[in-house]
């Protein structure tokens, strides 16, 4: 069974991956500082805004933070994100071409898979760490528990609807390596420059996760 890339294992040690939407790349470095102050040295910058690639490039200058790209839908986006400095890629679904493109450059990739058939396709590609999205819609922690009993050795990163209120439920599932989410990095706080709130939310999430 595949193992988790050591780089990801380091960054995911806190078992929380902040999923960020950045509207203005000028906020990328202050956001990096806020994440680090909250003890979350990782950021998944979603490719949903025009500012995403410049934000990844800015954050990639911080050696103490692992920046990745999220919402990677195709090879062109994967290449652009890796060119910008993304050190891991996350996709909502499973694209063989994206997986191959990432591997060619030695960049770990976490594609999405929610059904047994999708998980088997991911296993065929040698993948052992999968995004489970949108987690709350596809059965939440109960679904992950059921899948984990069949797909032993596969680890999941549920995202979509994960929050401070249900974080413990997800982290209690043995197959859950980490959870992803935006609850500790609200776009409104990023846009308004309220980085103290982000640091507080991150620190709270890290403390919560440490109890599980
Ligand atoms: C993702 O890209 O993983 C999700 O948009 C994050 O979902 P959330 O905003 O519900 O945390």
Average pLDDT, the chain: 95
Average pLDDT over residues 170-190: 96
Which residue's C-alpha comes closest to atom 4 of ligand 1? 160
Alpha-carbon distance 158 to 195, whole Å? 25
Alpha-carbon distance 2 to 187, whole Å? 34
Predicted pLDDT of residue 101: 98
Distance 115 CA to ligand 1 centre (A): 19
Alpha helices per DSSP H over the chain: 6-11, 28-37, 52-59, 75-84, 96-104, 116-124, 140-150, 167-171, 187-192, 195-210
Contacts of 152 (CB under 8 A, 6+ apart): 1
pLDDT confidence of 142, banded at 50, 70, 90? very high
With a cut of 60, say whether residue 184 has pLDDT above it.
Answer: yes
> Residue 179 forms beta bridges with which residues?
16
Which residue's C-alpha comes closest to atom 7 of ligand 1? 160
Report pTM.
0.96
pLDDT confidence of 3, banded at 50, 70, 90? low
> Which ligand 1 atom lies nearest to the CA of residue 162?
11
Please give the DSSP secondary-structure letter assigned to residue 61: T
> Which ligand 1 atom lies nearest to the CA of residue 182?
11
With a cut of 80, say whether residue 11 has pLDDT above it.
Answer: no
> Which ligand 1 atom lies nearest to the CA of residue 159?
3
Distance 19 CA to ligand 1 centre (A): 6
Termini Cα distance of the chain: 25
CB distance 130 to 149 below 8 Å: no
Taking every pair of Cα atoms in the chain, the longest distance, rounded to a whole number of angstroms, is 45
pLDDT 10s digits, 36-46: 999 999 999 99
Predicted pLDDT of residue 171: 96
> Residue 66 forms beta bridges with which residues?
42
Average pLDDT over residues 110-123: 98
With a cut of 50, say whether residue 1 has pLDDT above it.
Answer: no
């Amino acid at each position: 069974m595949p193992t988790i890339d050591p780089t990801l294992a380091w960054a995911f040690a806190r078992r929380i991956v902040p999923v960020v939407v950045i509207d203005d790349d000028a906020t990328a470095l202050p956001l990096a500082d806020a994440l680090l102050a909250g003890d979350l040295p990782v950021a998944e910058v979603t490719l949903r805004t025009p500012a995403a690639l410049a934000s990844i490039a800015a954050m990639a200058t911080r050696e103490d933070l692992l920046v990745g790209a999220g919402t990677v839908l195709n090879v062109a986006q994967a290449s652009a994100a890796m060119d910008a400095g993304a050190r891991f890629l996350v996709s909502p679904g499973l694209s063989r071409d994206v997986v191959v493109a990432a591997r060619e450059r030695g960049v770990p990739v976490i594609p999405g898979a929610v059904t047994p058939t999708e998980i088997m396709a991911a296993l065929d590609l040698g993948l052992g760490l999968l995004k489970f999205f949108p987690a709350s819609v596809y059965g939440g922690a109960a679904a992950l528990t059921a899948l984990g009993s069949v797909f032993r050795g596969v680890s999941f990163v549920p995202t979509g609807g994960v929050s401070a209120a249900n974080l413990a439920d997800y982290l209690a599932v043995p197959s859950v390596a980490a959870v992803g989410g935006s609850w500790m990095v609200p776009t409104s706080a990023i846009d308004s420059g309220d980085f103290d709130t982000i640091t507080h939310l991150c620190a709270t999430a890290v403390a919560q996760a440490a109890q599980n």
